[in-house]
Amino acid sequence: MQSQTLELWNNNPSGSSAALQIKELKNEDLEGVAHLHREVFSDPHALPSSGALQAFYKSVFLDSPFASKASPSLVAMEGGAVKGFVGVLTREFALAGEKIFIGIGSRFMVAPSVSGLVAASLLRRAARSKIDVFFTDGANEFGGASMRALGGVEIPLYGIQWFKVLRPFRFLSSFVKNRSSILGQLCSGISRPLDLMAGPLLAPVGNASGEWEDLSPKDIVELCGSSSSLYSLVPQYQTFEVEWLLDFCDKSSRRGRFFSKKLPLSEASFGGIVGFLRPNGIFEILNLWVPGKRIAEGFKALLSFAYSHGAVAVQGRMDDLFFSSLRGEKVIMKHGSWVFACGKNKAAIDAIQKGKALMGGLEGELWLPSARHGHT
């Protein structure tokens, strides 16, 4: 893709102008992107090294199966320095049998020293590449404002997170910040016995055998394919793409222990769960797949799985398909990240707005580690 040069005004006091070049991300830009990352995300001493960040950006945005030459990640250059970045991961979906491409925006960042026009230019260029929809589900307030300025539509449904507490005493004790204090030690000492006593009343009904088979990449491809009867917009995976995703998540050790497991259901059927058991004991769901006639059963199997692995709570993204099950389980709901979509395919955006899209954590950017921690 050819570079595009724009003349923009920066924010320096002199009011002088500088040429800004927006171009496709290349290997030689990685050092500058890593520097920008450390500049944008505060407390550089707590961030990964430049080398680790360069390896992360290369792995995800240049070498992954979702890095596309037709809709590449972009950098904004000024005076030979990287001043802005937006990652784009291209996913194939089926919309009522029609193949479309959705660009997942990720790691959007702009140097504080340059104009807000840089942010607008980067997003506009990314959204106008050879994709049908530009989607982001990990935006902060700055990213959300930039998407609105671009004409993006907010998706409130997918911005909601739900919590189900499984071990209430240990869950409450996790909010004590100083574990070594007298209060922290007291809470830690009594929470486990109290949860054990409450276990017979609180433990979810589910897989009593405790045997949970691995969910293979092929299984995930098949579960996504069978979801076309439940959703109008469904991801179209190749097995090697899922293998790459699962391997990447398995190596994200800072997020906790990664699971990809089958959920045994009645009549020899099964669903699937992919997620992390975080160090704080919360099981973070990326994706949950359940056959249409087994939704309530599949949700209970999910809770049983999390409980059997010691989780104190389960956390997931709202999905219209599971609303009745969530309401029946008396979950806690709160706003998570900002979710936006824009693009030329209005039918696809409409499906996303109405919750008729299978947009789990693997399809968006929630499988990526926190920008403040990198990939270690």
Are 67 and 194 members of one domain?
no
Confirm if 82 and 76 have CB atoms less than 8 A apart.
Answer: yes
- Global pTM reads 0.85
118 part of a folded domain: yes
Instruction: Check residue 23 and give its pLDDT.
Output: 95
Of 158, 190, 223, the last residue of a domain is 158
> Quick check: is 343 in a domain?
no
230 and 287 belong to one structural domain: yes
Within 8 A by CB and 6+ apart from 239, the residues are 217, 218, 221
pLDDT of 172 reads 66
Are 20 and 71 contained in the same domain? yes
Residue 99 lies in a domain: yes
Handedness of CA 28, 59, 34, 104 (dihedral sign): positive
Same domain, 304 and 176: yes
pLDDT digits (tens, 9 = 90+) for 206-252: 554 567 999 999 999 999 999 888 999 999 999 999 999 999 999 98
Q: Are residues 217 and 296 in the same domain?
A: yes
User: Which parts of the chain have pLDDT scores under 50?
Assistant: 1-17, 178, 183, 200, 208, 376
Residue 375 lies in a domain: no
Average model confidence (pLDDT) across the chain? 84
Three-point CA angle 68, 70, 74, nearest 5°:
75
| Percent share of the chain, pLDDT over 70 | 81
Q: Is residue 64 part of a domain?
A: yes
Distance CA 115, CA 93 (A): 35
Q: What range defines the domain where residue 265 resides?
A: 160-336
Q: Is the dihedral of CA 342, 345, 349, 355 positive or negative?
A: negative
The CATH number of whichever domain residue 56 belongs to comes to 3.40.630.30
pLDDT tens digit sequence for 40-71:
886 655 678 889 999 999 999 999 999 998 89
Counted domains in the chain: 2
